[in-house]
Amino acid sequence: MKLTIEPITLNLKTTFRIAHGADDQRFNVLVHLDEGVGEAPAVTYYGETQEKIVAYLKSVPDLGDDLFDLDGILARLPPGSRAARAAVDVAMHDLWGKRLGQPLYRLFGLNPTHLPQTSFTIAMDEPEIMAQRARDSGYPIIKVKLGGKESDEAMVAAIRNATDARLRVDANAGWTREQALRLIPRLAAYDLEFVEQPLAVDDIEGYFWLKEKLRGESAKLPIFADESAKNSKDIAKLAGAVDGVVVKTMKTEGLREALRAIHTARAFDMQIMLSCMVESSVGVTAAAHLAPLCEFLDLDGPLLIKNDPYRGLRYAGATLTLPDAPGIGLERIA
């Protein structure tokens, strides 16, 4: 299998501001293995840059020709960039499906019509601007980026006053334990579905602390872990502390470990939201082939960018349709 590298610049429709910073562009990398393609998102708060991803990919040894030895090939990849390893994994799965003439969801034994609706993300801004974006989106499910601490409740209040959509909030590890303990019961008044990643990434014990502190409170909201739950081992460590986890192929280093993460969460009776970084239709469509296994979706990456290089997952508002072409099912458009 021949590996080729294609750096890409994704131009965002609006400034994407979260607790970790703000961007108008994202600099990702496409990985091609023969006719298979995957995407590595350069997420700076995970220590990833386009340059580091490209350097890692240049270090990857020959992958051989036995495409059906997926686990063996992935195990031989050198340690390093999670995003790059995820892109190689996805490109291999795309090629696998194409060589077999089947879409990935069929090879995973899944029904493509069993997809939850996706949320649409509103990045941090002035509360009135966020409210206007939520109203204008027309989406029935809104994910609100928080982490601004004192202004967080005002952001949620403004959006709730602007729309009757289902709301989820994501603090992106932006709160301390004490802030989370104070804010979560207050935010429950705005009829939220759940709170995502309220605590610092490495504060696993904090989730057990928070669960105990919130025990018995009528205002308690379900808590989902994102950055703290990178893979199946992390999920096992969080068992009993959180109500759900967020699975992203970039965190799990691809579809193989994403499947393990989903099954691990199921074993511990956790709910699952399948999500994405700011990615093109390559990364998001690949992840969406696992969507029938999940209760919640946050797969709006292609909706946030102006210059998607591929056509894949189709959107009719919040309703998603998987392509039925072999592999991921992508079509190059730019």
CATH of residue 84: 3.30.390.10
Residues forming a β-bridge with 22? 17
Residues forming a β-bridge with 145? 170
**In which domain, by residue range, is 162 found?**
107-332
Predicted pLDDT at 16: 76
Predicted pLDDT at 220: 74
The total number of structural domains that make up the chain: 2
Question: How far apart (Å, rounded) are the C-alpha atoms in residues 330 and 218?
Answer: 46
- 40: its two tokens: 């590595």
Question: What DSSP string describes 271-301?
Answer: EEEEE--S--HHHHHHHHTTGGG-SEEE--G
Long-range contact set of residues 293-297: C-beta below 8 Å, sequence gap at least 24 = 293/110, 293/262, 294/116, 294/247, 294/262, 295/116, 295/244, 295/271, 296/116, 296/119, 296/168, 296/193, 296/244, 296/271, 296/272, 297/115, 297/116, 297/117, 297/118, 297/119, 297/273
Predicted pLDDT at 87: 98
Predicted pLDDT at 217: 65
- Quickly tell me which residue has 């979560």 as its tokens: 184
pTM of the model: 0.94
**Residues 31 and 68 placed together within one structural domain of the fold:** yes
Predicted pLDDT at 244: 97
Predicted pLDDT at 312: 97
Predicted pLDDT at 317: 93
Task: Single out the residue in 101, 124, 146 at which a domain terminates.
Answer: 101
**Residues 12 and 157 placed together within one structural domain of the fold:** no
**Residues 187 and 302 placed together within one structural domain of the fold:** yes
Question: How far apart (Å, rounded) are the C-alpha atoms in residues 90 and 289?
Answer: 11
**Residues 273 and 242 placed together within one structural domain of the fold:** yes
CB of 185 within 8 A of CB of 213? no
Predicted pLDDT at 19: 67
CB of 90 within 8 A of CB of 252? no
Question: How far apart (Å, rounded) are the C-alpha atoms in residues 312 and 323?
Answer: 6
Residues forming a β-bridge with 30? 6, 39
* Chain centroid to CA 257: 14
**Residues 152 and 285 placed together within one structural domain of the fold:** yes
**Residues 93 and 133 placed together within one structural domain of the fold:** no
Per residue in 219-249, is it b (16+ CB within 10 Å) or e — as a string? ebbebbbbbbbbbbebbeebeebbbbbbbbb
Predicted pLDDT at 219: 52
User: Can you list the residues of the chain whose pLDDT is less than 50?
Assistant: 218
**Residues 75 and 47 placed together within one structural domain of the fold:** yes
Predicted pLDDT at 149: 74
